[in-house]
Amino acid sequence: MARNCNISADNGPVQVTLIVNNALISGADFKIYEFSSGTVNETFKLNTDTSGTASYTVTLSASILIGQVLSWQILTCAPVVTNSGIVKVQISQNGLLCATTPEASYTLTSVPACSADQSVPVQGGLLFN
Amino acid sequence: MKRLLLSGLIILLARTAFCQSAASDTNAYKYILDYQVPTSPAFSILDISPQQVTRAGAVKPLVANLFSNFLQTQKLDPGIAVDFSPFLLLGGGFKDLNEYKQSAEKRILANTLFSLATIKNQSDSSSTDIALGLRITLFDSHDLFSNSATLNEITNSIGTSLANRASAVVVPGGIPDDVIGPSQAVGLQEAYTAAYNKLKNIPGYAASAGFGYRATARNSVVEPDSLLNEQYKVWLSVSRYKFFQGADLLTILQGKFGKSIKPEWILGFALASQNKSNNMGAEAVYNFLTHEWDYSANFELKLIDKVSYVVSLGKRSSINGVETARYFTINSNLRLNLFSK
């Protein structure tokens, strides 16, 4: 099911936040591309800190973003004894969360240990409307 | 009870072996292995580890040890120990790494290991020695994720490595579907090496406490009526990292109790050094019951990845309550150390 995020063309920049819980660590690659052609207009990377979050403010203006796709791949590993958790991608504009349907939230189990040099990948995306 | 114990052990071993296959041929692995590999608490109470003075220190989430002292017995008869964290099995967790660092109570719970072990009885091959152990790591200043000197740096290094390895797909005319897995390698060796190197020369302490129960299951049947030689052990272990010339000072106070034995207390000291290819140490142990000192030198040589050979040369007056050669003995075992998560 395609995921959509409704933003307002004149409500300021769009912020992307990566969140992971249960003391896991995530790092992600994001690409913003034209829906029909696949032309990539912006790329950025995020990695969570000790609070499990990381944020990026998209440089493309909201009016340009409409009709474009945000694609991500998130790699997650477990640095301590935990091995499960939830990783989320949240989109906000001017402090308001974009209610994506379905929610970009992934429940991870059997997350490999970082010390074993392994990670579990999560792929997903959404369309800005 | 017997089936329950054996089934649990088999499931855990199978899970470990299965998960390990996905994590093979990794370089970062050796850093957590080298960082601290405390003797399995259950092996400790079975008295089948050459070392008497065991380490306090960081816990691995799930560890399986295979053990064989075939050089002495000419029999393979491997002992098996599985260590795991009950905190995780009961659904415990952390909000984030900050909570792991700040909440000592939860960290202690998370770093509490429960251990199961079995080995064939040396004097009666139809019987099996079984052990349950619990080790509570109270404190470990060399835990990379509870130490202020390394927490932010290694978290950032790992996160950056993950981000650099990640690659979002582009689907012209579409939106990428949600897909989770399968696991993939990252390349975290550099991050662990940097953190390991930063800590390895910094002094610090680790402390752990333990409890163990052992018994011989007559005819290998685990039922109350067939359990013989039941014994209990309690111990407190404190390690001082980089105490002398890069070696760690380990101390242990241990009591052993049981219906068929006199209460026995030992106090042990060891100097031990660890590196990527071998571990070595020397220990002296005073037995308050016999008023005797035991002493030995221990070497653990990593033969290949996850397989090491442990040899101990020295005087040990008794092992498992059985009097041994009074002056000079050689104990050795082959240890296969697996862990997956």
pLDDT in tens, A77-111: 999 888 899 999 999 999 999 988 889 999 999 89
B142: three-class secondary structure by DSSP: coil
- All CATH 2.40.160.40 domain ranges in chain B, comma separated: 2-20+32-149+202-339
Residue B328 clears pLDDT 80, i.e. is over it: no
Query: What percentage of chain A reaches a pLDDT higher than 90?
Result: 83
Instruction: Look at chain B and count its residues.
Output: 341
The four Cα atoms B211, B217, B220, B221 give a dihedral, to 10 degrees, of -100
B60 vs B175: which has the higher pLDDT: B175
Mind telling me how many Å the CA of A5 is from chain B's nearest CA? 12
Q: Do B97 and A35 touch (CB under 8 A)?
A: no
Mind telling me how many Å the CA of B219 is from chain A's nearest CA? 37
**B199 reaches A (C-beta below 8 A):** no
- What residues of chain A lie within 8 A of the CB of B177, using their CB? 123-124
Q: Do B172 and A76 touch (CB under 8 A)?
A: no
Q: Which of B300, B296, B299, B289 is nearest to B316 (CA)?
A: B296
**B226 reaches A (C-beta below 8 A):** no
Please report the pLDDT score of residue B203 as a whole number.
77
Q: Do B97 and A51 touch (CB under 8 A)?
A: yes
Residue B30 clears pLDDT 50, i.e. is over it: no
- What residues of chain A lie within 8 A of the CB of B159, using their CB? 25-27, 47-49, 54
**B87 reaches A (C-beta below 8 A):** yes
The four Cα atoms B144, B148, B150, B155 give a dihedral, to 10 degrees, of 90
Q: Do B170 and A49 touch (CB under 8 A)?
A: no
> For residue range B69-113, what is the model confidence (pLDDT) as tens digits?
555 555 656 677 787 888 877 888 899 999 999 999 999 998 888
B224 vs A36: which has the higher pLDDT: A36
Please report the pLDDT score of residue B255 as a whole number.
92
Q: Do A123 and B169 touch (CB under 8 A)?
A: yes
Q: Which of A88, A30, A117 is nearest to B183 (CA)?
A: A117
The mean per-residue pLDDT over the stretch B11-25 comes to: 33
Q: Are strands A96-97 and B128-140 parallel, antiparallel or unpaired?
A: unpaired
- What residues of chain B lie within 8 A of the CB of A85, using their CB? 93
Q: Is B113:B134 a contact under the CB 8 Å cutoff?
A: yes
The continuous run of DSSP H or E covering A38 comes out as none
Residue B38 clears pLDDT 70, i.e. is over it: no
Residues B217, B196: Cα–Cα separation, whole Å: 43
B204 vs B279: which has the higher pLDDT: B204
- Per-residue CA distances from B323 to B130, B249, B306, B319, B329 (Å): 21, 28, 32, 6, 12
The mean per-residue pLDDT over the stretch B273-296 comes to: 82
3-state SS, A25-37, equals EEEEEEEEEECCC
Global pTM reads: 0.74
Residue type, B285: V
What value does the mean pLDDT of chain B take?
74
For chain B, what percentages of helix, strand and coil (3-state, to nearest 5) are there?
25, 40, 35
Q: Is A97:B156 a contact under the CB 8 Å cutoff?
A: no
Unique residue bearing structure tokens 């002493």: B295
Q: Which of B87, B90, B121 is nearest to B107 (CA)?
A: B87
- Per-residue CA distances from B203 to A40, B59, B120, B140, B197 (Å): 50, 19, 40, 11, 13
* B2-20+32-149+202-339 fold: Porin (2.40.160)
Return the half-sphere exposure (C-beta side, CA atoms, 13 A cut-off) of residue B93: 15
Please report the pLDDT score of residue B319 as a whole number.
57
Among B15, B84, B170, B179, pick the best mutation site for testing chain A contact (most A Cβ within 10 A): B170
With CA atoms as reference, the chain A residue closest to B180 would be A122
Q: What does the DSSP 8-state code read for residue A23?
A: T
With CA atoms as reference, the chain B residue closest to A1 would be B177
Question: Tokens in use for B187?
Answer: 């390349």
CB nearest to A50's CB, from B59, B152, B340: B152
Q: Helix B151-165 crosses helix B189-200 at what angle (to 10 degrees)?
A: 170
Q: Do B166 and A75 touch (CB under 8 A)?
A: yes
Q: Do B94 and A80 touch (CB under 8 A)?
A: yes
Mind telling me how many Å the CA of A55 is from chain B's nearest CA? 13
